[in-house]
Amino acid sequence: MPELPDVEIFKKYLDQYALDQKIEGIEVFENKLIRGATGKEVEEALHNDSFTSSERYGKWLLVKTKKGRALAMHFGMTGKLQYLEDGDNLPSSTRFIIEFKGKKKLAFADRRKLGGIELVKNKEDLITKHNLGPDATIISWQEFKEALHKKSRKIKTVLIDQSILAGIGNVYADEILFQSKVHPETSAAKLEEKQLKEVFKNINPVLRTAIKHQGKRKSLPDHYIIPHRKEGADCPVCGGKIEVIEVGGRTTYFCPGCQERV
DNA sequence: AGTACCACCTGACGGC
DNA sequence: TGCCGTCAGGTGGTAC
């Protein structure tokens, strides 16, 4: 379930393996995952070009080419990248591959087909097209407060709304709220400024910790709720029982002892 | 305008 | 043993 930390890991992976190699073509196994263009168009756009750098924005990975093009990748729920040398087997659920000189490949696999790629002009184009708010790791306190303090919606649904801030998904929203001792169903507008600031202050530490742990959720610190995402599990902080509810159609784990309803 | 909800997607899992 | 309903949660579109 790629959220911001997972995409940051994909970025490092792509930077390590797929930069500065001549692109000879692409092969598409699932047309639906090429958004807003045909496979042929993407092929023509990338042919004889090469990737020079990448940038993560929210849950998007923007890959730039030497000739000034940009390929935006989204990983949906189950997307991932795999770099292959000549003779390596394609991962299961490979939806398309980018072929480099020397029979090397970058495979985009996505079991549930909720991810995909598209051609964009640049980062601003991506942001406009998908109505993305500021990236969760760079938003300032002032911007954050301004965006949230009048929202009547539940704080959790606001946190995962990509048009408000980009990058936080279901799992890390629960973690940020647990660390902030804020109940996920509290209306954003009803939070005291102190609580809202606490939420803001926990965003970066939680996301950075997740990146440091390579997105492996079981290996996160024990005082995080993520390793205890199970109904009735013991809360690592107060020893109470973890509860499961649905918020905005998403499964939500929280500790009623630590996260008081406002 | 702001908010809520549903469709899409498919493999894993659990109940009977 | 095997079938089948349910669940997971990303985005984007629609309805209120």
For the ranges A19-28, A121-130, A208-217, the lowest mean pLDDT is seen at A208-217
Confidence of residue A262 (pLDDT cuts 50, 70, 90): confident
Q: In this model, does residue A1 exceed pLDDT 80?
A: no
Whether A181 is a known active-site residue: answer no
What's the whole-number mean pLDDT along residues A98-102? 97
- Asked if A60 and A144 count as a contact pair (C-beta separation under 8 A), the reply is no
The per-residue pLDDT for A261 is: 83
| Average pLDDT value for chain A | 94
Spatial separation of the C-alpha atoms in residues A245 and A238, rounded to whole Å: 19
What's the whole-number mean pLDDT along residues A111-123? 94
User: By three-state DSSP, how is residue A232 classified?
Assistant: coil
Q: How far is the CA of A33 from the C1' of B10 (A)?
A: 15
**Which of A11, A56, A59, A156 does the annotation list as catalytic?**
A59
Q: What is the DSSP string of A50-76?
A: -EEEEEEETTEEEEEETTS-EEEEE-T
Structure-token pair, residue A213: 């742990």
Q: How far is the CA of A32 from the C1' of C4 (A)?
A: 28
Strand B close to A250 by CB, under 7 A: no
Question: How do residues A201-226 score in pLDDT, each as one tens digit?
Answer: 999 999 999 999 987 888 899 999 99
Q: How far is the CA of A251 from the C1' of C7 (A)?
A: 10
Q: How far is the CA of A109 from the C1' of B4 (A)?
A: 32
The per-residue pLDDT for A219 is: 87
Whether A91 is a known active-site residue: answer no
Strand B close to A190 by CB, under 7 A: no
Question: How do residues A59-95 score in pLDDT, each as one tens digit?
Answer: 999 999 999 999 999 999 999 999 999 999 999 899 9
Question: How do residues A147-195 score in pLDDT, each as one tens digit?
Answer: 999 999 999 999 999 999 999 999 999 999 999 999 999 999 999 999 9
Question: A136 φ, ψ to 5°?
Answer: -60, -25
Taking chain A, what is the end-to-end CA distance rounded to the nearest angstrom? Answer: 30
Strand B close to A248 by CB, under 7 A: yes
Whether A250 is a known active-site residue: answer yes
> Which residue's structure tokens are 């190699």?
A21
State pTM to two decimals.
0.95
User: By three-state DSSP, how is residue A31 classified?
Assistant: helix
Nucleotides of C under 7 A from a protein CB: 7-12
Nearest to A261 by CA among A203, A198, A184, A155: A184
